[in-house]
Every structure is written in C-alpha cells, then in structure tokens.
Amino acid sequence: MFYIKFIGGIMLNKLNLNAKKVFTLLAFLVSFIYFGIFRFLIIPSGDDYFWWGDEGSYLVHHMFYGPQSVYGGSSNGRYFGNLTEIITMRHLSLATLGYALGWTLLIWCLWKLSGKTITALLLSLLFVFTLQGAFINNILVWNAGFVNYVPPMVLVLFYVLILNAGRTQKFNKLMPVLTFLIALAGGLFTETVTLTAICLGIIVMLYFRKNLKLYHITYFLGTIVSAVTMFSHPGYRGQSAYRSTTFDPAQIWNNYAKVNHFWLITFNVALLIAILCAILILVLKSSFPTIKKTILAIISAAFLIYYIGINIYLKLNIPLNDSYNYNSISNGLGNLEGIVSVALIIFIGYCIFTFFKNDPNLWLYFLLTGVVAGQLLFVNTPLNCRGYFLTYIFMYLIGMKFVLAAIQDLAFTKTAFNIILLVGLVFMAGTYQAKLYANNQANLERVNHPAFYNKGVLFTKHVPYRKFVWANDLTDQQNPRYWKYYLQKH
C-alpha cells in the first residue's frame, strides 16, 4: 500500500511538473504573439519619423554625425539604437518581430531571476501593466523609446543570469567571447546603459575578486570598448543646445525634487504598494522584538498611506504636461516629496539588509538602481523619464523578491493568489490591446485625408487614448509623408 502511494505521489509530482512546463511555454508563446500584435497597432510619433525620413538616411550614411543646428541630439554614438530605429521604422514586419522578442525576453529574464515559479511568471508578465504613465508613453508605445532602452537592458540581465549560472557550473571557452559581445552590443544603445554596464562590470569584479573568471574580465573590457566607441563620436564634442550637465548641488536638488524623483519613486504607485505591503507582511510574520516589529510596521504603513495619498492629491490638483512632469510645482511640495523619496530608498535598503542581507542579486539591483539614478542627477537637459525606466526594472526585481517571500506562508493558497494575478493579467492585457486598437482605427481615419497627406494640414482630432501615443498624441508630431506612403502601401 505504501509503495502504491509512493509511486502515485511521484507520478502526481511529474504530472504537476509537466503541467507547469506546458503553462510556462504557453505563457511565453502568448506573450510573443500579444506583443507582436501590440507593435502592429502602435502609432509612430516624433523621432520615429525623423529616423524613417531623409534625416535618418543622411545620418546612417555619415556614421550618425551631422550639424548640431540640423540634427541636434540625434547626432550621437547610439550606433545600434539608431540603426535599429531606422530598420524597424522602415520594415513593419521586423519591427513587430523585434518588439515581440524584446518584451518577451525581458519578461523571461525577470522570471528566470526570480525563481522560475508560476507566481514569478505571472508577476513577470504583469511588469508591463504596472508601468507608470510616463513609461507607457515613452517606452511601451513609442518605437524610439523601445529600441533604445529595452534591448540593452535584456543584455544586462542576460549577464546577470550568466553570473548566477556561473556559481554552480563551468562554462566552455566561448563564454568570455559571449560576455564581451554582450557588453559591446549593450553599450551602443543609450549613454545611461553604457555607463551602468561599466559600473556593473566593476561591481562584479570586486565581488568575485577572489574567484575572478575570464568572462568577468571580458565583460568589463567589452563595456570599455563600447564606451570608447560611443563617446568618441564627434557629436558629443562641441556646443550642444540639446545636452547639458550640471554639478551645482542646488540645481541638482531642484531637478530631483521638482522633476526626477517623481519618475524614480512617486509615480510607481502600483510597485510601491506591492513592496510596502510585502514588507509589512514580512515584518508581522517575523520573530523580531516587539518594539522593532512595531516601528517597522508603522514606517511601512506610513509610507504606504503617504504614497497612495500623494498620488491621489497630485492627480486631482496638479495636471501633468505632455512630457509627464509638472509645469509648475511649489518648492515646499517638491522638497517634501524629494525628502520622503530619499527616506523610502533608505528604508528599502534597510529592509533588504534585514530580510535578504545574504542575497547578492538583491544588493546588485539596489546598487544599480543607485548607479542609474545617480548619473541622471547630473543631467540638466534634457530631463525625461526614459532613463528611469532602467531603475524601474531593477526596482521591480526587488519588489518581486519581497512579494514572493511575503506570500510564502500566508493563510490562502498560492493557487488562489495565482488565480488573482492571472485574472488581473488577462484584464489588463485585454484593456491595453483594446485601447491600442481603438487608437489605431481612429488614427487611420484622421490621416486618410488629402489635405493632411498632400498639403500637410494638421488635423485637430486626437485619438481616444492619448497616453498610448508618444507625447500624448500632439498632432504636430505626426508626419504626412509617412502616412501617405503607409496608405498607398496598405
């Protein structure tokens, strides 16, 4: 009887394992198809037309260098980012494939780095649907944002996965070559990732200094080669009306308090709620002394209430502009918000030390969040949210760790939690796709007029969901020539 039960248990476990594998494969297949359709429906805007048109043709034939008065910040060393933008804007099929592959690989990396469970898979799939409005507008639904920020971050996370695998297995002789190429390619998309990858290489070599491998060194060398290649571009020399930096502490704080910290912390309300609720659960489940438990619980609850409240207040009282920041915000509110955001960062760091102090990956994500945000502090112009999308990826990985730990021993089952996540995922995915489709149809109707595509007379009607077109669907960011070509072809 025992033998029969034992064999039955093994068979049931195998059945469950096979079911999980099938579900996982199906989830990634659906993800790929979903994002392919998503990209097909996206309406290009702004820089997309610049790179599609004559300006892009000129730059690609001149190593992406041209007069500042004509090409501005587009004259740069983002060789792979620029080239990918040109190719994807001229070939919709390649754009669809690349977009689907990019987002699916990013989700796959999040899942792999978070334990490869079904819960981790669902949380990873939800990543896109937790993005704040600024990231939706500047990364998710903008081709130029996607090509410059998602592919290089996939390559960064690939390297972290290699580091994890390297702790328990030996690689063949090609791994040093692979890490060199990953670093070289990843550093030719956007300046922020280029500098972040150098810091990642240094951090890794310091951490593994007693057990340094050749592939650690070649990754770092790849980041140096990519940085030299990028920043030796003549577009970074000379006077630029587009780019400027500042080392004035007062100006740095002013930019942080009134602009940058909103993208870094405040607007990520869904993630903040998840992290703070998870911390609160972990604290209440802990065996800490009563006074420590009480203090940590109060602080967690206070931050939770504050960030829900401040987001409601800001939404009701201070309208966002089309760049997803504020035209005007008082010194008092800005300074308060900036100080609270710094306090939250310190608190999350303390909670990592308290609950996961021996987890090197979590410390790496925390440090890299600081590396990205730190370098962006010195940027005076242009101030935009796109660099902070990189910090969001690392913060999301931190959040997943806290959430997965918090639900370990809760009263309700993981199955129930997974069902809740799945229902939310299906609802959000359907809602986003419906909005993209509605925008796509409305746009095809408004651009299909000779006055627009022949004479360039701008239309005044916006799409139904302006957040899902870059720059909130400003009509002067559309291109009559592109849409005439598109309508003739389709």
Tell whether the model's pLDDT for residue 2 goes beyond 60. no
Give 352-381 pLDDT, tens digit per residue: 999 999 999 999 999 999 999 999 999 998
Provide the pLDDT confidence category of residue 13 given band limits of 50, 70 and 90. Answer: low
Q: For residue 450, is it within any domain?
A: no
Q: For residue 400, is it within any domain?
A: yes
Q: Which of 34-43, 54-63, 125-134, 428-437 has the lowest mean pLDDT?
A: 54-63
- At residue 11, the pLDDT reads 44
Q: For residue 484, is it within any domain?
A: no
pTM of this structure: 0.94
The amino acid that residue 473 corresponds to is D
Tell whether the model's pLDDT for residue 326 goes beyond 90. yes
- At residue 15, the pLDDT reads 53
Q: For residue 331, is it within any domain?
A: yes
Span 221-249, average pLDDT: 90
User: Please, what is the average pLDDT of the chain?
Assistant: 93
Q: For residue 445, is it within any domain?
A: no
Span 286-291, average pLDDT: 93
Give 157-180 pLDDT, tens digit per residue: 999 999 999 988 889 999 999 999
Percent of the chain with pLDDT over 90: 84
- At residue 232, the pLDDT reads 95
Tell whether the model's pLDDT for residue 69 goes beyond 80. no
Tell me which of 3 and 120 has the higher pLDDT: 120
Count: domains in the chain:
1
Span 246-260, average pLDDT: 95
3-state secondary structure the chain: CHHHHHHHHHHHHHHHHHHHHHHHHHHHHHHHHHHHHHHHHCCCCCHHHHHHCHHHHHHHCCCCCCCHHHHHHHCCCCHHHHHHHHHHHHCHHHHHHHHHHHHHHHHHHHHHHCCCCHHHHHHHHCHHHHCCHHHHHHHHCCHHHHHHHHHHHHHHHHHHHHHHHHCCCCCCCCHHHHHHHHHHHHCCCCHHHHHHHHHHHHHHHHHCHHHCCHHHHHHHHHHHHHHHHHHCCHHHCCCCCCCEECCCHHHHHHHHHHHHHHHHHHCCHHHHHHHHHHHHHHHHHCCCCHHHHHHHHHHHHHHHHHHHHHHHHHHHHCCCCCCCCCCCCCHHHHHHHHHHHHHHHHHHHHHHHHHHCCCHHHHHHHHHHHHHHHHHCCEEECCCCHHHHHHHHHHHHHHHHHHHHHCCCCCCCHHHHHHHHHHHHHHHHHHHHHHHHHHHHHHHHHHCCHHHHCCCCCCCCCCCCHHHCHHHHCHHHCCHHHHHHHHHHC
Q: For residue 404, is it within any domain?
A: yes
Q: Which residue has the tokens 């090197």?
A: 360
Q: For residue 93, is it within any domain?
A: no
Q: For residue 380, is it within any domain?
A: yes
- At residue 5, the pLDDT reads 46
Give 204-214 pLDDT, tens digit per residue: 999 999 999 99
Tell whether the model's pLDDT for residue 386 goes beyond 70. yes
Span 247-269, average pLDDT: 96
The parent domain of residue 268 ranges over 248-410
Span 97-108, average pLDDT: 98
